A and B are shown apart, each in its own frame.
Chain A
């Protein structure tokens, strides 16, 4: 254990079980499931000595914390760093890292820009790109499902939907990886990411400006809402930045997770092939099963009772979304990937007022890509070493060599 506590709280409330593993270590990331179980079984609330923070890993408590945003706030940062004590590494997000009423206004704008109504006109184009990608991959037969599929497909649709210029898009994935590493402690993953951040930050700042966004895209729609007076002209670029931060890498991990699941569970691939309309739920179930976004923090705004313990004001609480999504108290056969499961209520996209505002974009990409594969592919076989990619918040793969055969 290398890290030391950076923003220690006032110490654990009496009776709260202490755990001393490091939830941001490579060993934990490599195989979190046994520790997730330990966390859930230790109690409804635990104290993580490594960082001096509370943790919740059962579904009920994770759900409760997510759904009481006035007590468990986001404005002091949703990472380990407490913005009341430490300056954020970049200007604070005006949606993710905001509380009502400030959040309500910015959320309404992104909620409308990314609503079901806004998805309708995108659908046929997103589907056509997915079909083309599936044809191309089937012709190749063997490829890396991460770079050639999970990354390649979102890169072929999302930056255009946002309205980004062609130049400089190679900054997008490194920037997102930086953002999600930054929620962790000052370990190597976070420090190295921030040290190398300058060129990526410069690129993103430039792309968020109105003159660089193609008319008709999500970015231009956000700026138009500033003309309407719903947000200010200074806020618009920051909301565009939220989509650049959270809109690409997350779907790469989500699609990667689904393909990895289908490769490991051939019975579920067979089910999907026999009924491709299950594609949307196959994606959703992979988001529950793998939880590409593993954790987020909240900070208490007052003394509060949680899981039978009294927690003081100003305490950081780490929510293990991935553990809640496999809590046997909530899910039947939680460790089974089941594409016909009723997935409603999983917290892979969060829950409550901050629940992922880009979820319909993610589902659209996931659905059309999986459905295109389901209608063409007979089998998926893993043909080489599966390598994990390590990030303080995201869970996913670096490399997944597979061979697919036609149906």
Chain B
């Protein structure tokens, strides 16, 4: 029987948004693993880590609280699963803060009442990679591989928010291994000692402080090349976008020759599970993942 989850896609995974290709590959991957994602009806944006200028603490807590309350009402008993690190983090932080502060919890429910909602705050908030590791397991993930990703060397870029402050159970902040294990399980080779694995790419500041952020991104890409990588893989839509789309600008500024594809773990899995390029979201690449395309086209 399919495992069911209450799914929070977040703004960046909406149709025709910046990580719509992530969603595509996640759907293909879940299809193979018999995971059923029930979208939280009428979910709203969580304001990530950048809503704080106009939004005070309580309005921001109310945002995530509304999503949890909707989930508790419509998808009762199901864990919430997010694919975006920022969504996962904001929702989990809200749950924790409200759990520890009865005053804020009461005020949040007063605000939610205006939308006809009530928060119990009893739902587990999880990232998709937690579902894969804890509910599916590496062994089962490996069983479905039809086309091993032989001969591809991949730098697993974990980034910040899937790693800190919560991180994945049993992993360290300095050197989490799960992404490397995903890569191996799909038959590809992870870059050992990728020393920018958990470095910051600038996050939302890639928009507002482009030069400072691009300096950070440059180091992340350089370290991947140093490790002999053919491509980079991440679990976070913001990381994916930042590391992929600014390569031309970085080349122009620093005289580098970067041209390295950046995909999601779910892209790898979808291709290894035998899905075609479109089903794996490969048409969403700005820098084409040619080695994956070759395998998907076989």
A binds B: no
* Residues in B lying within 8 Å of A, measured CB to CB: none
* Residues in A lying within 8 Å of B, measured CB to CB: none
